[in-house]
Structure 1
Amino acid sequence: MTIAATDTAPAGTSRALSCLDVLESEAVHIFREVAGEFERPVILFSGGKDSIVMLHLARKAFTPAPVPFALLHVDTGHNFPEVIAYRDRTVAQHGLRLHVASVQDFIDRGVLRERPDGTRNPLQTVPLLDAIEKNRFDAVFGGGRRDEEKARAKERVFSLRDEFGAWDPRRQRPELWSLYNGRHAPGEHVRVFPLSNWTELDVWQYIEREGIDLPGIYYAHEREVFSRSGMWLTAGEWGGPRDGEQVETRMIRYRTVGDMSCTGAVDSDATTIQAVIAEIATSRLTERGATRADDKLSEAAMEDRKREGYF
């Protein structure tokens, strides 16, 4: 797929911008703003749909030049194989630089310990902050959106993090007229969310419009899964299934992708992007609310993790 710069109408004419045009223009502006303000930005890239769209927008913002930022993946070691394969294929295809922060490395060194429930999502914070400090990243792009979860709805596009990577809602800065304040003290950094104003439906409609390729697990396929806490989970070395949890083959797809231990699938027959869009349009639950067990640990699970330095 060829990336083209955002188009403009001929001089003396005007055209109405669609919702997707406006969102794309805003995201491209944010990428260029960060490139002008910061010295060492990095893009968080997992191979999930939001980070894929974010990378597409970054390429669009700087074409025909290469993306001026490296990628960073915090690898839990419990990732879906299809997603890791997509990540590596994308990096090779576009000649990108990839940093990998491995949760397993920190476990092997005794810095982190496995959780009793087997999930490693909460363990990503320490490797993330270590990678930011070691590489002196001063701006970190994330694919978070305000519609996903109430803690993310509180966060600005430019989110200041202190020297420990922690987020304090009281230090959020106003962003009137799309003016972004990237000032930060030594040791601090800024998380940047170009997709903050997008919805899940916007993301999928943009994927359709731009012809963006995704890992196949986002579309309905047969897979061996088992039920836990009302979610369909994939069996794996992380500790599932337990005694009494029956593995069965079902037609499912994933709305979001994370650690296999806490990312649930939904029953679906949506094998095409048009069918996925129709399915999302009728859903009353966000993808995280429906399929992420780590967000259900407590009422403030996401906000607590953000205060510790999480995405």
Structure 2
Amino acid sequence: MRAASAFQLPYPARTMLAAPALPDDFSLPGAPIASGATADVYACLPGWVLKLFHRHIGAAEVEHERCAAQAAFALARGAHAFRIPAVGGLVRLGDRYGLLYAQVEGGTLQEALFKTSPRLPDQFAQQLASLHSTLHALPVSSSLGAAGLPRQTERLRHAIHHARDVSEARRTKALGLLEQQGGGVSCLCHGDFHLGNILVAASEPPAIIDWNDASLGNPLADVARSSLLICFGEAVSTTGPLAPNGFTIDEYEALRQNFNRVYLETYSRLKGLGDLCPELAPWLQIVATARLNENISTYERKRLQEFISA
């Protein structure tokens, strides 16, 4: 598979869509079509879905995602490699906040992997790396900061300060590493770039969704986050790795490690970085420590603690 060029397809550039307003008598249409750790998604109006956040997600966080998604959509309007759904304004239903998004057809890249060739994951790892590389190549300007996108270092510093189950020595080490990286390269970083946040359909380029963790910062921090999710990420409710049907735990862990290797090698090759490991190593420590501030599974928390202690 030609990871670097497989997605340069002649799709037309996309224009901003005007989101409709929800009617005054709107009520949720039955069960959600998708659910995640922070929100449920409902088909609400023709061509649009409502991402309704859970009650613990406040208006400020939802507004941050709206600004990030809007900025990302504007940046990617001329891109042919991927789509970013158009986003509407913030809405409130009872004690929950939500956003309207243009509906995107297709399933996740993760679903595609396990439906087709879970024992041959290299092409999916290459696709993930190619999309990530292309995203990081989008030209950015100071207007993105004015649009509400935070600085990556600020988000990481806050997360490390509030990380749970971390010794003060480890916290101090992570903060020191963060300071050592300096400002560096600044690009649009997704902040949660994994197979479950990529939607694929036969007749359209992939779509990148869930921009609530987006920031302006160093692309290697974004890559480190993806690498850690590939290796250790599990649903919040799990206490151990959940191997797909037909896999033993050991086989699944080996698959994850191989997927991560191919992802990193492909990204490094596309960016012309040579050996990525020395540059990525401090970011892995920084991002792993920051991740411990989040609501994650006991299994992932244990693995991350082992990782930063190694």
TM-score (norm 1): 0.31
TM-score (norm 2): 0.31
The structure with more helix, counted as a fraction of residues: 2
